[in-house]
Chains A and B, each alone.
Chain A
Amino acid sequence: MSDDTPPRARTVPVQSATFSPEINAEIRRAAETGIYDIRGGGAKRRVPHFDDLLFLGASISRYPLEGYRERCDTNVALGTRHATKPLELDIPITIAGMSFGALSGPAKEALGRGATMAGTSTTTGDGGMTEEERGHSRQLVYQYLPSRYGMDPDDLRRADAIEIVVGQGAKPGGGGMLLGQKISDRVAEMRTLPKGVDQRSACRHPDWTGPDDLEIKILELREITGWEKPIYLKIGGTRPYYDTALAVKAGADVVVIDGMQGGTAATQDVFIEHVGLPTLACIRPAVQALQDLGVHREVQLVVSGGIRTGADVAKALALGADAVSIGSAAMIALGDNDPKWEAEYQALGTTAGAYDDWHEGRDPAGITTQDPALAARLDPEAAARRLRNYLKVMTLEAQTIARACGHNHLHNLEPEDLCAVTMEAAAMARVPLAGTDWWPGKPGGGL
């Protein structure tokens, strides 16, 4: 063969979009280990979200308010329907329920301190109430979950509100998962289980099924706590219209809707990525249900799942929510997934920003762990200040937007302040596609 033979024309190697490197790696991992992937965090796939909405701002037909000089209030009362002691919050951003067990004691303390400094509430989680969070939270919401781990009437009585958890956005229809590695003596004792045992919390409540029973359960909780405390009902985003209507019917004071981007401490990846609605798709149907029943603003709506910025807060409120709740963002503010631990993330086979094996309890940032040495890395007071700062920044951002739209209270933001940059977001948020007065499904068809 001579050197001048032309090289044979070949196709370049093409990776399949269907069998992507990530998919193939997961197939191999499953084949090797025989267990599905469990992880923390929320849906990582891209779904229509608040980023797909824009505020219009003021113009000739609407005048803005002067930043810093003209007021733009941010307070909210939660639980005004039946409770004699509603929660009065300075800002409409609350800290979502995250279990002690999933999070360390110092992390729970930091959440309580930070929320209190910012004038808002924090929430217990699966596994019961800890002294760290009760002691450091001025306003603490006590979760009432299917597992009833650590459920104690004294804690119910010393809580400021009660949140009945029906579901979570990360896993609507799924129960909890706390794997054996994280069951320390203290966690085991709080939950009345042997140390080191996997805790697959139930997905349904043990003593009620359906809205009629739920109504009686709410009655019982109110009778035990003298009708003082707001009763929230937390649901995963699946059928927001009907679930909200049923929550109202069952007597809830506050409805909490958590979309599929919402974080979890540990759930099957397949569940996180493939079950539930994007947060954006949950809000308008829920608000519609409240409006149809004539209780919008009387029964408050709290929205969670992927809230990161003041813009997200403003958009959720403009769509009709009364407040939002944050989990993942609060963890990041405390120090979760901080690049300063990159070497240790690498050693765990991951990288800062992507670390989600929270169930393994080896968190370099010392937040999702029960290991005393790792947990000691988090200084609760410093972390609390970071959370306080972050909450303040988000509030200021939301106020900046509200003033620009001419509103003197965040709650005066309205859908008319918004447009959407994608068809999907326009359909879900029921606001016009940018530059048009139309959205898919608009009654009457628009233009």
Chain B
Amino acid sequence: MQTLDLAQSDLRTLNATLQTAATAGGNETAWEVVNPRGAHALAVGLDGPLSVTVRGSTGYYCAGMNKQATVQVAGSAGPGVAENMMSGTVVVEGDASQYAGATGRGGLLVVKGNASSRCGISMKGIDIVVFGNVGHMSAFMAQAGTLVVLGDAGEALGDSLYEARLFVRGSVRSLGADCVEKEMRPEHHALLADLLERAGAPAAPEEFRRYGSARRLYNFDIDNASAY
């Protein structure tokens, strides 16, 4: 394992080293970052099967736009962790701040603690599994992908939802505009079972409820104006 120390090197050097290693695809695929000290934009834009462990907490946009790489934050993550992820895996051992997994188009984001507000906002295909709770406006305008919450969800879950699938084990404070509870069919159990297993989440599919779009806001109708 190679070690990068943010107390020794600067952010540009660190990211350039990881980015080059990711695309070069050599034998050295395991990296660790020490002394992250809440730095922003850590391990962003990786494009290759690298495995990076950040030993500590990060600032904004850790693992932003990740492709293929596995990034593990052995601490908590600031806003926008794994934003616009395309593929790969990002695991946060602690909590995640706002907009975790925002606009993500693929890959798996696992938050072992809680996630804050707007988790999965505008998600476009990413899978997100949160072991704890998620804050208000989570999955706002979520287009595709799956958000799984083992704990509770805050206010206005799934507001203006498109086709993303939401599963919550605990309580939901309130549902957002056009988000409704839906029946759990066998295919949903299968999907959820697979995701829970991949995330290593301590929960069973039958404990969850499913939420999705009522699709009433898909085409403008004046009688729904108050919901827009």
Contact = CB atoms under 8 A, between A and B. Distances in A.
B147 interface: no
A196 B122 CA distance: 18
Given A216-B60, A220-B40, A193 B143 contact: yes
B162 A152 contact: no
A154 B47 CA distance: 9
B1 interface: no
Contacts of A179: 220
A191 B163 CA distance: 12
Given A35-B220, A153-B67, A197-B219, A207 B99 contact: yes
Contact of B61 (A196, A217, A225): A217
Given A151-B103, A192-B144, 16 more contacts: A34-B223, A35-B222, A152-B105, A156-B65, A191-B143, A192-B105, A192-B124, A192-B143, A197-B162, A206-B140, A206-B141, A207-B79, A207-B99, A207-B102, A216-B61, A227-B12
Interface in A169-210: 179-180, 191-194, 196-198, 200, 202, 206-208
A3 to B, nearest CB: 57
Given A207-B121, A208-B80, A223 B45 contact: yes
Interface string B95-109: 000110011010000
Contact of A152 (B44, B86, B223): B86
A372 interface: no
Contact of A207 (B40, B47, B61, B125): B61
A192 B125 contact: yes
Q: How would you classify the secondary structure of chain A's contact residues: helix, strand, loop or mixed? A: loop
A85 interface: no
| Residue of A207, A208, A226 ringed by the most chain B CB atoms within 10 A | A207
A328 to B, nearest CB: 25
A26 interface: no
Top 7 A-B pairs ranked by shortest CB distance? A224-B45, A34-B222, A153-B65, A207-B80, A220-B41, A148-B103, A207-B99
Contacts of A157: 45
A147 B103 CA distance: 8
Contacts of A156: 65
Interface of B: 11-12, 15-16, 19, 40-41, 44-45, 47, 59-61, 64-65, 67, 79-80, 83-84, 86, 98-99, 102-103, 105, 118, 121-122, 124-125, 140-141, 143-144, 160, 162-163, 218-220, 222-223, 228
Interface-central residue, A152, A202, A220, A224, by most chain B CB under 10 Å: A220
Contacts of A154: 47
Interface of A: 34-35, 147-148, 151-154, 156-157, 179-180, 191-194, 196-198, 200, 202, 206-208, 213, 216-217, 219-220, 223-227
Contacts of A206: 99, 102-103, 118, 121-122, 140-141
Given A207-B80, A207-B99, A220 B60 contact: yes
Contacts of A194: 162-163, 218
A45 to B, nearest CB: 25
Given A192-B105, A206-B102, A224 B60 contact: no
10 contacts: A154-B47, A193-B163, A194-B162, A194-B163, A206-B103, A207-B80, A207-B83, A220-B60, A224-B65, A225-B45
A217 B102 CA distance: 13
B44 A220 contact: yes
A220 B222 CA distance: 41
Contacts of B79: 207-208, 213
B81 to A, nearest CB: 10
Nearest to A201: B141
A428 to B, nearest CB: 35
